[in-house]
Amino acid sequence: MSGRRRHKVRRNRSAKRARKLGLPWEKYQWEDILRRDGKVCYLCDSTFDPEIDHGLPWSPCVDHIIPFDKDNCPGDILSNVKIVHERCNKTKGKKLHTQLNLPLEPP
Run of H or E including 34: helix 30-37
At residue 85 the predicted structure's pLDDT band, cuts being 50, 70 and 90, is: very high
At residue 104 the predicted structure's pLDDT band, cuts being 50, 70 and 90, is: confident
DSSP secondary structure code for residue 71 in this structure: T
Q: State the pTM of this model.
A: 0.84
- Mean pLDDT computed over every residue of the chain: 87
Contact status, residue 80 vs residue 66, Cβ threshold 8 Å: yes
Higher per-residue confidence, 43 vs 2: 43
N residues, the chain:
107
pLDDT, tens only, 12-25: 788 899 999 999 99
Q: How far is CA 11 from the centre of its chain?
A: 10
Angle (CA) 18-34-67 rounded to 5° is 30
